[in-house]
Amino acid sequence: MSDLFIVDDLTVTFPTSRGPVEVVKNLSFTVGRDDTLGIVGESGSGKSMTALAVLGLLPRGAQTSGSVRLDGTELLGKSERDLRAVRGNAISMVFQDPLSSLNPYYTVGLQISEMYQTHQGGSRRAAKQVAIEALERVGIPDPERRVDHYPHQFSGGQRQRVMIAMALCCSPSLLIADEPTTALDVTVQAQILELLAELQSTTGTGMIFITHDLAVISSIAQRVLVMREGDPVEYGTAEQVFSDPQHEYTRMLLDAVPRIDDEVPA
């Protein structure tokens, strides 16, 4: 099997006072090496829950069934201890808001090197060197000096670059990006997308890109999964989904994107 990451029939259920609620229903997809899967859907469609389920980070009480395999290893049902070794190491994650995802009390260098040391070990000095290299790789100018700066001393786009540097410092085989560009303005957004694509082509990391922005998906993903209220609505190559959407909901989403050649409503 050449696929890196296989999710098969994943279902996530939350118990509520009005009975169990399925927030993700019978989801199946695959991500290959050097491949990007885009997951699109409106708020509450289960996109982020899917990402958390994969990492075993769901809130207490949630139940999962199905299968999640990375390089042939089943992740669902693994012990907390084993999962911790996977998180940040084999699978890492980039979050939406880079300011709130970085701890304001530590320098970015410390946060990157701590993550590296947790998973890869090594001396503090070596880890700091890794942090400097990681910052350089994501295009932070003057990384030797910037490594000792605090998150509030970086701009929004730079913070997201720091988050990406942190996510990639252990050379994960899969990167989950949960709306990484939503909090950024459009020009910075484009830079970050470019950076992600470039890093992916050099490292061969598989990527799951979660967003509600169809324009972003069309520029980065090879395969697209459309979700609605926990249901996988449509799954296929980006070309297929965008040019010939099979499902009515996908068509609706695509129609909601304003186009430059649209008629102005009267």
Partner 1 sequence: MTTSPTLVEVEEAVPSGPLAPPTSGKRVVTTITRDKGALACLVFLAIVVLMAVAAPLITKLSGWGPYQFDSAAINSDLGGVPHGSLGGISGSHWFGVEPQNGRDLFARIVYGARVSITISLSATLLTGILGVVLGMLAGFYRGWVDQVISRLMDFLMAFPALIFMIAILSSLPSGNRPVLLVVVISVFGWPYLARVIRGQTMTLANREFVEAARASGAKDTQVVFREILPNLRGSIVVMTTLAIPGFIGTEAGLSFLGVGVSPPTASWGQMIASSVSWYSVDPMFFAIPGAFLFLTVLSLTVLGDKIRTLIDQGEAA
Binding site for partner 1 (CB under 8 A): 55, 57, 60, 84-89, 92-93, 95-97, 100-107, 114-115, 118-119, 141-142, 146, 148-150, 152-155, 157-158, 163, 166, 187-188, 190-191, 193-194, 197, 218-220, 222
Half-sphere exposure of 183 (CA within 13 A, CB side): 19
Strand ranges across the sheet with 174-178: 91-94, 174-178, 206-211, 36-40, 223-228, 231-237
Report the residue number, 71 or 248, with the smaller CB distance to partner 1: 71
Residue 241 CB, shortest distance to partner 1, in Å, is 15
Shortest gap between Cβ of 263 and partner 1 (angstroms)? 25
- 224 within 8 A of 238, measured Cβ to Cβ: yes
Cα 218 from Cα 238, distance rounded (Å) = 7
Measure the CA–CA gap between 45 and 30, rounded to whole angstroms: 19
Distance CA 14, CA 189 (A): 34
Closest contact distance (angstroms) between CB of 214 and partner 1 is 13
Query: Nearer to partner 1 by C-beta: 180 or 232?
Result: 180
Q: Nearer Cβ to partner 1, position 118 or 203?
A: 118
Q: Are 36 and 46 in contact (CB under 8 A)?
A: no
- In angstroms, what is the minimal distance from the CB of 193 to partner 1? 7
Whichever of 175 and 226 has its CB closer to partner 1, that residue is 175
User: How far from chain centre, in Å, is Cα 111?
Assistant: 19
Q: Which is nearer to partner 1, 21 or 85 (CB)?
A: 85
Comparing CB distances to partner 1, the nearer of 165 and 233 is: 165
CB of 75 to partner 1, least distance (A): 13
Q: How far is the CB of 99 from partner 1 (least distance, A)?
A: 9
